[in-house]
Chains A and B, each alone.
Chain A
Amino acid sequence: MTERILAPFSTIGRRAVALAAGIGRWGMLTAETFRSLRHVDVWGRLLLQQMAKIGLDSVPIAVFIAIFTGIVLSLQASYTFTGAVPLYFVGVLVGKTMMLELGPVLTGLALSGRVGANIAAEIGTMRVTEQIDALETMAYPPVAYLVLPRVLAGIIMFPVVTALAIAVGIGSGWLTALQLLDMSTPEFVRGLTLFFEPFDVTFAFIKATSFGFVVTTIGCLFGFHTRGGAEGVGTSTTQAVVVSSMSILVLDAFWAVTLL
């Protein structure tokens, strides 16, 4: 009887402990990642390769998302503003929303799927096939070799991809306003510049950088702690995507609270 009552609590307790352990492991991996900066000879040559894989290869999907986001923002803004609000506010909405929220977050979420899954699967496979052990025996520190180049590439390339996405999103919103909403370029641009502050761009970069850091570290974390063959790799990959997506949303709210 008491067991039945206590069961949900012990579940909560177990979950909490697991969560704390996960955060602890993440902290340790992150600390180790920064310590590994001294092994430039190991990660230096791999950085460019990872930047291509994480950044360059993500440009198409990010741009694709941004194009449609821009179109939808533009159309929905004009729909919402019927009547009372002047139409140039479409420019305000497209610009502000792309810069402050949708540009970084949608790019982050898309990349958490693409990059996070890729990293977790790759490192997870290396773990279960003893490739990480092999690295160790060949005197390559695995964190410096596998984690650091990916994390650095994420920190560098997420803002780059996000910047492109924002520019493309605003561009597509502008074209939509021009073609479908009967707005003029000066009108749209007026809205765009009306409330623009350089901090908007800083904010977008802060978000994108933190997303890049979180997605890559979480991908590496789940990859590193993979066990149990192909199935284990699958589980890690799924978890990496879920956890990094959630972290992006939590971080997004965190930055909004602390910086705005």
Chain B
Amino acid sequence: MSIQMNEVYKAFGDVRVLEGFSLEVEEGETLVVLGRSGSGKSVMLKHIVGLLLPDKGNVWVDGQQISNLPTKELYLLRRKVGYVFQFAALFDSMSVAENVGMGLERMKEFSREEIRDRVEECLTLVGLEGLSDRFPAELSGGQKKRAGIARAIAIRPKYLLYDEPTTGLDPLTKAVIDRLILRMNRELGVTGVVITHDMESAYRVGDRIAMLYGGRRRFLGTPDELRSTTDGVVKGFVEGRPELLENAS
């Protein structure tokens, strides 16, 4: 397995976010992670690239344990991982094109022209062709989000981590992004972890779906298994029925 989290604990002061969370992502699959707002999905995702280190437990990516990886190797590993931030996190001092080209430039394998072509290609994939000279401040929220996705896929990573890639997008763009996620997976063999609140997207892109609840993994299964689950908490969340949740807990 390519990404593995083992009994991970993480707390910020008194706020305990992850309490023994475990997850395995198979090579080449797209795994969707569901969970209520504030349940710790983003925190969980940051553990995979070493932005946060677990208080307890461990995280393996590509056969390497993140928490005791020397800095140099950690940076090498990160070149294989694309991360789509929940709020895009574009560098505001740079144009969209420079943002998207950042990761490529770091790799030092590409000429100026190659980078420019790759950036154009990625921007076209997310539907931002022609906006490459804009600055982040001149983009709408959805455009920023898509620029963030373009930046993550530009390096053709082996792993792609999406933190709510479709939240706040119109249905059409949402479908475009979902298709992009599938394409990355099918054509380039990318292993993906997708955080989303959007059940439609989840069913569309997920090979398997997990749910984070109370700091632990509450559910893991195929979309079909999710549809037929009897766990009140999961069913309540998926169907948007708070009363089921209350009964279950």
Does a CB–CB distance below 8 Å link A and B in the complex? yes
A: which residues have CB within 8 A of B? 41, 122, 125-126, 129-131, 133-141
Docked-complex contact A136 and B51, CB < 8 angstroms: yes
Stretch in contact with the other chain, from B17-25, B61-69, B86-94, B171-179: B86-94
Q: Is B46 an interface residue (CB 8 A)?
A: yes
CB distance from B151 to the nearest CB of A (A): 8
On chain A, the residues within 8 Å of B90 by CB distance are 131, 134
Docked-complex contact B46 and A133, CB < 8 angstroms: yes
Q: Is B103 an interface residue (CB 8 A)?
A: yes
Determine the residue in chain A with the shortest Cβ distance to B157.
Answer: A137
Docked-complex contact B49 and A136, CB < 8 angstroms: yes
Docked-complex contact A139 and B79, CB < 8 angstroms: yes
On chain A, the residues within 8 Å of B108 by CB distance are 41
On chain B, the residues within 8 Å of A141 by CB distance are 71, 75
Q: Is B83 an interface residue (CB 8 A)?
A: yes
Please name 22 pairs of A and B residues whose Cβ atoms are closer than 8 Å in the assembled complex, sorted by A: A41-B108, A122-B93, A129-B87, A129-B92, A130-B85, A130-B89, A131-B89, A131-B90, A133-B46, A134-B83, A136-B50, A136-B51, A136-B78, A137-B78, A137-B82, A138-B78, A138-B102, A138-B106, A138-B151, A138-B155, A139-B78, A141-B71
Q: Is B15 an interface residue (CB 8 A)?
A: no
Q: A136-B51, A138-B103, A140-B106 are in contact. Are A130 and B87 (CB under 8 A)?
A: yes
Determine the residue in chain A with the shortest Cβ distance to B50.
Answer: A136
On chain B, the residues within 8 Å of A125 by CB distance are 92
Docked-complex contact A140 and B102, CB < 8 angstroms: yes
CB distance from A121 to the nearest CB of B (A): 12
| Cα–Cα distance between A137 and B49 once the two chains are bound (Å) | 7
| Cα–Cα distance between A134 and B155 once the two chains are bound (Å) | 14
**Interface size counted on chain B using CB atoms at 8 A:** 26
CB distance from A20 to the nearest CB of B (A): 20
On chain A, the residues within 8 Å of B209 by CB distance are none
On chain B, the residues within 8 Å of A41 by CB distance are 108
Which of A129, A131, A139 counts the most B-chain CB atoms under 10 A from its CB?
Answer: A139
Q: Is B122 an interface residue (CB 8 A)?
A: no
| Cα–Cα distance between A129 and B51 once the two chains are bound (Å) | 14
Q: A137-B83, A139-B78 are in contact. Are A131 and B49 (CB under 8 A)?
A: no
B: which residues have CB within 8 A of A? 46, 49-51, 71, 75-76, 78-79, 81-83, 85-87, 89-93, 102-103, 106, 108, 151, 155
Docked-complex contact B51 and A133, CB < 8 angstroms: yes
Which of A130, A131, A136, A138 counts the most B-chain CB atoms under 10 A from its CB?
Answer: A138
| Cα–Cα distance between A138 and B50 once the two chains are bound (Å) | 12
CB distance from A137 to the nearest CB of B (A): 4
CB distance from A36 to the nearest CB of B (A): 10
Determine the residue in chain A with the shortest Cβ distance to B78.
Answer: A139
Rank and list the top 3 A-B pairs by shortest CB-CB distance, nearest first: A130-B89, A137-B83, A134-B89
| Cα–Cα distance between A41 and B75 once the two chains are bound (Å) | 14
| Cα–Cα distance between A112 and B37 once the two chains are bound (Å) | 41
On chain A, the residues within 8 Å of B50 by CB distance are 136
Docked-complex contact A131 and B92, CB < 8 angstroms: yes
| Cα–Cα distance between A28 and B98 once the two chains are bound (Å) | 31
Which of B71, B82, B87, B102 counts the most A-chain CB atoms under 10 A from its CB?
Answer: B102
Q: A139-B78, A140-B106, A141-B75 are in contact. Are A131 and B91 (CB under 8 A)?
A: yes
| Cα–Cα distance between A131 and B88 once the two chains are bound (Å) | 9
Which of A41, A126, A137 counts the most B-chain CB atoms under 10 A from its CB?
Answer: A137
Docked-complex contact B91 and A134, CB < 8 angstroms: yes
CB distance from B246 to the nearest CB of A (A): 33
On chain A, the residues within 8 Å of B83 by CB distance are 134, 137
Q: A131-B90, A133-B51 are in contact. Are A139 and B71 (CB under 8 A)?
A: no
| Cα–Cα distance between A134 and B93 once the two chains are bound (Å) | 14
CB distance from A119 to the nearest CB of B (A): 13
Docked-complex contact B75 and A139, CB < 8 angstroms: yes
Q: A139-B103, A139-B106 are in contact. Are A134 and B78 (CB under 8 A)?
A: no
On chain A, the residues within 8 Å of B93 by CB distance are 122
CB distance from B195 to the nearest CB of A (A): 14
| Cα–Cα distance between A260 and B103 once the two chains are bound (Å) | 50
Known: A137-B51, A137-B82. 9 other contacts (CB 8 A): A41-B108, A129-B89, A129-B92, A134-B89, A136-B78, A137-B78, A137-B83, A138-B102, A138-B103
